[in-house]
Amino acid sequence: MKLPRILAAFVISIALAPVVAAPRNITAGEMALIPEFCQDAQTFNGWTQHSRESPRSPFWISKMGSSFWAIHHYCWALIHVFRSKQPGLAPVLRDGMLEQAIDDHFYVIHLAPPGMVLLPELYYLVGDLQRQLRQYGAAIDSFNRSRAEKPDYWPPYVGYADILLLSNQRAEAKAILEAGLKLMPDEPALKNRLARLNAGTADAAASARAAKNTTVRRPATAAKPASAP
């Protein structure tokens, strides 16, 4: 009978689809940690787009366009990330919260017009979450999208370099950081990360030279006992 198969396929498709859900019981402490515009976004403080808009919504729309009506997903994502850092949280729950945050960020990205002011940050945040989930290829793609949106935005350069360093690609990581410094020569985060990389490279080289020059000493041969007369 075809009906059970159709129902089974429908259930599977629902199970595999990204689930975007609002975090429950948001605290005043969590609200204090997220950007100011979240106070005026949909679902917060009872605001909605069509029946009860925040009086400040026109100001935020002037900054981010109609994407403001999707920005509550960005705010949700930040709260999911905060909650993922709770001590003692099971890894499967932690990863689920990070995946949830990625879905929320992509919700905003997919509705954003070209050049939307938060796109560089959104792509960076997605990449950083993918890095935490060890989805390194996807993370690099997201960092590159962030850099393409705003080449003089430093976080994706550091994020990309850190992934390269996981596989000891020091030269490639250095090139990424130096590319960022060409656009942002006074950016402390890039200068500090490059200095740490160079220091680590120098330490590794010094250790290698020391190991190469170390003479292996054999233990002294024990004196043979005197022969019996």
DSSP, residue by residue, 67-116 = GGGGTHHHHHHHHHHHHHT-TT--HHHHHHHHHHHHHHHHHHHHHPPTT-
Cβ atoms of 109 and 78 closer than 8 Å: no
Residues 6+ apart with CB under 8 A from 125: 77, 101, 105
**How large is the C-alpha radius of gyration of the chain?**
26
**What is the chain's mean pLDDT, rounded?**
84
Residues 47, 45: Cα–Cα separation, whole Å? 6
On the question of pLDDT at 208 being above 60, the answer is no
Q: How confident is the model at residue 210 (pLDDT cuts 50, 70, 90)?
A: very low
Residue 29: how many other CB atoms lie within 10 Å: 8
Measured between alpha carbons, how far is residue 107 from residues 31, 34, 86, 170, 215 in Å? 21, 18, 25, 35, 61
Q: How confident is the model at residue 225 (pLDDT cuts 50, 70, 90)?
A: very low
On the question of pLDDT at 35 being above 80, the answer is yes
Residues 6+ apart with CB under 8 A from 109: 119, 122, 123, 126
Mean pLDDT across the stretch 111-130?
96
Q: How confident is the model at residue 203 (pLDDT cuts 50, 70, 90)?
A: low
DSSP state at residue 20: -
On the question of pLDDT at 18 being above 50, the answer is no
Residues 108, 96: Cα–Cα separation, whole Å? 19
Closest to 161 in 3D by CA, of 153, 170, 152, 151: 170
- pLDDT cut 70: percent of the chain above it: 79
- pLDDT cut 90: percent of the chain above it: 71
On the question of pLDDT at 192 being above 80, the answer is yes
Mean pLDDT across the stretch 207-225?
42
Q: How confident is the model at residue 52 (pLDDT cuts 50, 70, 90)?
A: confident
Residues 6+ apart with CB under 8 A from 72: 22, 38, 41, 42, 43, 44
Cβ atoms of 71 and 64 closer than 8 Å: yes
Mean pLDDT across the stretch 165-188?
97
Cβ atoms of 113 and 66 closer than 8 Å: yes
Mean pLDDT across the stretch 60-83?
94
On the question of pLDDT at 12 being above 70, the answer is no
Q: How confident is the model at residue 13 (pLDDT cuts 50, 70, 90)?
A: very low
Bigger pLDDT: 222 vs 127: 127
Domain ranges of the chain: 20-113, 118-204
pTM value is 0.78
Fold of the domain built from segment(s) 118-204:
1.25.40
Position 14, amino acid: I
Mean pLDDT across the stretch 174-178?
97
